[in-house]
């Protein structure tokens, strides 16, 4: 690996049937796409060299997104436009690259700075839609929003209100802006579960489609902005 490498951030879309592809399989897909595209990605040193890449806030199975990111290191660079073109020639239906930026030398990895994500929730089950939508304007008015949450270590009832930054109707869909990352991570499924509880309907994950719109970090002014704002276009 060259001593001097360039850090880049790639924004991509995951949709269609690819929403059922797990994170590890998606990572392998991009590794192979890099090889096929012939881009100058950097590798680790040692007995088992691997491409230097790391993903930000991987999606759960069944969730689509237009705001996914991963970081990679390159030995040499082409323009953002050319990298997007070459990578998209290797993509399949359901995955494509939207943008590529060059990161500052001392930029932190995307996975360590993610602070929030926003989502659009649509309904697969029309029978419960009106009842759930009716509760959206009132949920954040409650003093606490308690749901049953499972973690790797235990199961507990938790107040998730602190993790909901915005919750509102968007036509016949639900828009939610939630805490994401290491400090506090709130899954949209937990908010949907709370809405179902308020509407007195049974929560069923398959009644809803979850779509991530964008992924955010806190900038120097403590403002939540897109991960694309961490770098610049490669000319």
| Residue 106 and residue 126 in one domain | no
| Residue 11 and residue 77 in one domain | yes
Q: Does any domain span residue 225?
A: no
| Residue 124 and residue 214 in one domain | yes
Domain containing residue 205: 113-218
**pLDDT score of 73 more than 80:** yes
| Residue 47 and residue 144 in one domain | no
The model's pTM is: 0.92
pLDDT of residue 156: 85
Mean pLDDT across the stretch 1-20? 88
Q: Does any domain span residue 135?
A: yes
**pLDDT score of 13 more than 90:** yes
Residue with tokens 């990605």: 41
Rounded distance, CA 186 to CA 117, Å?
9
CATH number at residue 27: 3.30.70.580
| Residue 96 and residue 134 in one domain | no
| Residue 118 and residue 179 in one domain | yes
Concatenated DSSP letters of 209-235: EEEEEEEEEE-TTS-EEEGGGGSEE--
pLDDT of residue 2: 44
| Residue 106 and residue 120 in one domain | no
pLDDT of residue 1: 40
Q: Does any domain span residue 54?
A: yes
Mean pLDDT across the stretch 155-175? 95
**pLDDT score of 87 more than 70:** yes
The percent of residues above 90 in pLDDT, for the chain, comes to 87
Q: How confident is the model at residue 46 (pLDDT cuts 50, 70, 90)?
A: confident
| Residue 184 and residue 212 in one domain | yes
pLDDT of residue 3: 65
Give CA torsion, residues 43, 49, 51, 52, to 10 deg. Answer: -70
Look at the chain and report how many structural domains it folds into.
2
């Amino acid at each position: 690996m060259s001593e001097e490498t360039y850090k880049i951030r790639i924004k991509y879309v995951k949709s269609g049937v690819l929403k059922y592809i797990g994170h590890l399989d998606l990572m392998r897909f991009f590794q192979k796409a890099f090889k096929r595209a012939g881009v100058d990605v950097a590798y680790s040193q040692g007995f088992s060299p691997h491409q230097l890449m790391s993903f930000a806030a991987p999606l759960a199975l069944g969730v689509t997104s237009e705001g996914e990111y991963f970081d990679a290191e390159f030995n040499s660079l082409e323009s953002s436009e050319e990298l997007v073109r070459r990578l998209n020639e290797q993509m399949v239906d359901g995955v494509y690259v939207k943008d590529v930026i060059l990161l500052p030398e001392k930029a932190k990895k995307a996975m360590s700075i993610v602070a929030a994500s926003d989502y659009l929730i649509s309904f697969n089950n029309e029978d419960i839609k009106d009842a759930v939508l009716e509760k959206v304007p009132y949920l954040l008015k409650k003093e606490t929003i308690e749901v049953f949450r499972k973690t790797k270590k235990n199961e507990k009832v938790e107040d998730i209100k602190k993790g909901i930054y915005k919750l509102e109707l968007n036509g016949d869909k639900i828009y939610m802006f939630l805490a994401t990352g290491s400090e506090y991570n709130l899954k949209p499924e937990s908010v949907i579960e709370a809405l179902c509880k308020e509407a007195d309907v049974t929560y069923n994950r398959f009644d809803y489609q979850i779509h991530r719109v964008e992924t955010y970090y806190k900038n120097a002014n403590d403002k939540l902005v897109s991960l694309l704002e961490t770098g610049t276009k490669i000319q």
